[in-house]
Amino acid sequence: MGAPTPRPGWYPDPSGNGGRRYWDGYQWTVQLPPHLQISPRAKWIISGLVVGGIALLMIGSAVTEKNKPATVTSPLTPSAAATSTPPPGTLPPQGVTFSTAAGPKGDIVTAQFQITDAFLSMFTRTLSQATTKEILRYAHHQWPDAAAVNVIGMFPTNDGYGNTSNSAVVNVTYLKDVMDRINFDGYIDDIWAIRSSGSIHPQLQ
């Protein structure tokens, strides 16, 4: 006969790792010693503490985020603002073609545009004058040493025989001394009146 089987209970760990293991009468179990076991009540308390701690962390995070100073970002940084709104005179007026030619006293800039036909001739004149001013501003910015700037405005006209042609109804020239005196940011009553030379169609007078 073999050695008698030990009664169920706690015995020194037969693996030699120290500690104690439980013998259930047939085999060694992984049951913890009584002083290390957690009662159901203790498990319930620990679970409550864990859940409560998580809830407190979430509340604290929400409060911190609410009280955090708002960061206001400007929609336009200085570089973006400069890019979106270029200084006046740096971009050519729409629908205007520019060309340059050498003259006896320096370059002569010629700008040609198609005059917009407004319902009333007075508005046609106003729009044409505004375009002329923008042409002169751009030319003065791009070619500050030009000897003269010639502005030509084209408009369909009818002759006495009923024939229609695209004629130059505005053909004005501004010499350098006049260009240098123009305040492009100020109010100019009649940009054509200060021309150095040239002609305006009678209907736009």
Question: Is the CB of residue 139 less than 8 Å from the CB of residue 111?
Answer: yes
Beta bridge partners of 44: none
Comparison of pLDDT for 195 and 11, the residue scoring more: 195
On the question of pLDDT at 125 being above 90, the answer is no
CA distance 108 to 106: 7
Report the alpha-carbon distance of residue 128 to residue 124 in Å, rounded.
6
Q: Closest Cα partner for 170 from 200, 128, 193? A: 200
Residue 139 has pLDDT above 60, yes or no: yes
What pLDDT is stored for residue 130 in this prediction?
92
What pTM value is reported for the model? 0.57
Mean pLDDT across the chain: 80
Dist CA 49 CA 70 (whole Å): 34
Query: Would you state the pLDDT for residue 1?
Result: 55
In terms of Cα–Cα distance, which of 178, 98, 83 is closest to 135? 98
| pLDDT tens-digit readout, 38-83 | 566 666 666 666 666 676 777 766 666 666 665 555 555 555 545 5
Is 87-204 in CATH node 1.20.58?
A: no
* 152-203 residue pLDDT tens: 999 888 777 888 888 888 999 999 999 999 999 999 989 999 999 999 988 7
Is the Cβ–Cβ distance between 148 and 175 less than 8 Å? yes
Percent of the chain with pLDDT strictly greater than 90 = 37
CA distance 144 to 133: 15
Q: Check: CB of residue 133 under 8 Å from CB of residue 141.
A: no
- pLDDT at 64 (0 to 100): 62
